[in-house]
Amino acid sequence: MNFARACSNEHADLHWSFFRVHRGSRVSRKRQGESASRVAEDTPAYGAAPFRFIDLFCGIGGFRIAFEKAGAKCVFSSDYDKFSQQTYESNFGEKPFGDIHSVAVADIPQHDILCAGFPCQPFSLAGVSKKNSLGRKHGFDDVKQGNLFFALAEVIDFHRPAAFVLENVKNLKGHDQGRTFDIIHRTLTEALGYTVYHKIIDAKPLVPQHRERIFLVGFREWRHFEFPNFPSEGPKLASILERDPDPKYTLTDHLWNYLQRYAEKHRAAGNGFGFGLVTERDHARTLSARYHKDGSEILIAQRGKNPRRLTPRECARLMGYPDTFKITVSDTQAYRQFGNSVVVPVVQHVAKLVVQTLKMPKSSTYDLVLEEKHNAHLGQGPKEPSKMVTYTKPKRRRIT
């Protein structure tokens, strides 16, 4: 019986011991007798050696850039898309393994941190809408991509990494009235025994793009973790635009007229569909993998002529990739790759805190400091200001 199907919405109340019973179909013979719950003995102690991480559903390497900047070392990568493999190999000098289902779990190298941006299409608003219109299943019932989360669970269950970082679309939290996220969370916590923190993060404070994604950070042993805080104001599109883009990125009269008619049609019907026309003083909508089709979600206004698409290099910058990142595929593939990517600076901040947390002694915790402050604005009158009680920035301490 397939675990992913058994944990679909009709079976959300199954006992989570089921996962361990039906796990291990991809475990190689040489390791079948080993305990899946073993704990790595040579995990680097408080930074004595680089943490090792694996990069699953790696795409073009956004996670890898972020965790390498945090001082970790990549020991394995995997992605089924041949064009993403090409870009990854051009930039990191190694070709990722293919479909994760083709790799025996035990053949994946031992690692301290598992990173994965597992496919989001089965859970995204756009993906669900499209599949519904075509009469196709979505979520865990998506045969091709919906059960890939459980492939991650197999790897986590066998290797027991010290931590993991997962990323997906914001809609994962609300998909199927929250039941999908509940299954995922219970699998990670109840079935696998990890302490899990999650947060929806908007990349807009770091790149000129409104892009909300959910991050799940888990620790094998209990550790206190806080997601990063970002500034309220972020950069504008002017910071990523090329000065003299190729004219081929300017929309033809035919396409521009079509997009305007399409937007007017839906506006008259009371729908919110339409193009996103922006200037260098704005931030963009979310870049999607379909951007290659017409570029409608992000069109750059141009004085005296039709608007234009972003160039692939601008898309790379919009996702936080450095200009040294090599783009070796067609524009169509580049748009797909950057639209499916993580925002590198966001992951970099998360990665830094994950590594720092793992370097802290396991006994580290926080002191809650209760502080009393006077605030005249909250009082009933100038003579008797009320007292506002707040928690100050917690201080780490070590339990003795």
pLDDT tens digits, one per residue of 328-351: 999 999 999 999 999 999 999 999
Contact 120, 170 (CB under 8 A): no
Integer CA distances (angstroms), 87 to 81, 136, 284, 333, in order: 10, 31, 25, 10
Give the pLDDT band of residue 204 (cuts 50, 70, 90): very high
Confidence of residue 205 (pLDDT cuts 50, 70, 90): very high
pLDDT at 146 over 50: no
Q: How far is CA 148 from the centre of its chain?
A: 15
Can you give the C-alpha Rg of the chain in angstroms? 23
- Mean pLDDT of all residues belonging to the chain: 80
Euclidean distance between CA atoms 111 and 42, whole angstroms: 10
Among 189-203, 271-285, 352-366, which is the least confidently predicted range? 352-366
- Burial grade of 268 (CB within 10 A; 0-12, 13-18, 19 or more): exposed
Q: Lowest-pLDDT range, 39-53, 157-171, 305-319?
A: 39-53
Q: pLDDT category, 89, cuts 50, 70, 90?
A: very high
Comparing 11 with 95, which gets the higher pLDDT? 95
Sheet holding 299-302, edge to edge: 277-278, 299-302, 305-308
Mind telling me the catalytic residues? 120
pTM of the full structure? 0.79
Whether residue 93 is predicted with pLDDT greater than 50 in this model: the reply is: yes
Of 310, 362, 316, the closest CA to residue 337 belongs to 316
Question: For residue 357, what are the contacts with CB-CB under 8 A and spacing of at least 6?
Answer: 163, 219, 223, 224, 225
Q: Which residue has the tokens 């795409």?
A: 59
Instruction: Please give the angle made by the CA atoms of 343, 303 and 239, to the nearest 5 degrees.
Output: 25
Q: Which residue has the higher pLDDT, 142 or 324?
A: 324
Domains of the chain: 3-234+342-359 (3.40.50.150), 237-339 (3.90.120.10), 365-398 (no CATH)
The pairing of strands 299-302 and 277-278 is parallel
